[in-house]
Amino acid sequence: MIDVRPFNGLGRFDIDWLAARHHFSFGSYMDPKRMGFGDLRVWNDDTIQPGTGFDPHPHRDMEIITYVRKGAITHRDRLGNEGRTEAGDVQVMSAGTGIVHAEYNLESEPTQIFQIWIVPSATGFEPRWEARQFPRDGRTGELVVLASGRDGDEGALRINQNAAVLGATIKAGHSVTHQLGNGRKAYLVAASGSIEVNGVPAAARDGVAIANESAVEIKAIDEAEIVLVDVA
C-alpha cells in the first residue's frame, strides 16, 4: 500500500510568523482518519519567520525529532540545555516526565523544519535533549539513520521507541531501497525534489504512507532530499 498525501491537501495553520502544514491531526486541524501512522503521531512542516518562534511551552511523554531543512533553529529548555541546529542536522527531545522548552529562529532568513513526534515505548522516561550534525554530502545515495531506538543503530540520536528516522540525498535518476520488517510501516517525505516510491510518483513535501510492503524503493526524478520514518 502506497498512499500519497499531497502537500496542498495537508492541514493548515497560518499566522504572521508561522506557516504550518500538518500531515496528521494537530492543534486546530482534526481529521479522524489521520490521527497518526502506527507509533508516528505528528509530522509538521513548519516555516518560521526570522526573529520569531515558539515561546516556552510544555511537553510530556513524547519523542520529538526536529529535522532542519533550511536555516537553523535554536532550542532552550528549563533543564539548562541550549543549542543551535542547522540545515540538514537533527535534534531530539525526549519529553518523558515533562519538559518546558522554546524554539526560535534567530537567523536572518526563514527557517524550515520537519517536526516529527513518535509515541514512546513507555511513560515516565527521564527528559533529555540532544543534537547532532549529519552532513548532507555524507548521505548521498544511501539512507543514514538519524535517530533510532533500535539495537545496532550506532551514531544515531537515541529515542525511546523501536523506530527509526532516516535521511538520504539522491541524485536524479538514482534510487535507494529500504527494507521493511514484518509488521513495519514507513512514512516518507521528500524535503525537496520529486520522487517515485515503488513506482508511485510524489512531489516535494507530499506525504507517502507505506504499509504491507517488504521493500521500499525511492527513486529521484529530480535531485531529492528525503526523510523516512520506520515504525510499528
Count of alpha carbons within 13 angstroms of residue 22, beta-carbon side: 19
* Beta pairing class for 52-59 and 72-77: unpaired
Q: What is the mean pLDDT of residues 151-173?
A: 97
Q: What is the mean pLDDT of the chain?
A: 97
pLDDT tens-digit readout, 71-121: 999 999 999 999 999 999 999 999 999 999 999 999 999 999 999 999 999
Q: What is the mean pLDDT of residues 127-132?
A: 98
Q: How many Cβ atoms sit within 10 Å of the Cβ of residue 109?
A: 11
**Burial of 8 from C-beta contacts in 10 A (0-12 / 13-18 / 19+):** exposed
Q: What is the mean pLDDT of residues 152-180?
A: 97
Residue 12 has pLDDT above 90, yes or no: yes
Question: For the chain, what percent of residues have pLDDT higher than 70?
Answer: 100
**CA-CA-CA-CA torsion sign (191, 147, 68, 30):** positive
pLDDT tens-digit readout, 179-226: 999 999 999 999 999 999 999 999 999 999 999 999 999 999 999 999
Residue 137 has pLDDT above 90, yes or no: no
Nearest Cα to Cα of residue 202 among 45, 3, 11, 4: 4
Residue 55 has pLDDT above 90, yes or no: yes
**Residue 56: what residue type?**
P
Q: And the C-alpha cell for 208? A: 507517502
Residue 124 has pLDDT above 90, yes or no: yes
pTM of the predicted model, to two decimals? 0.97
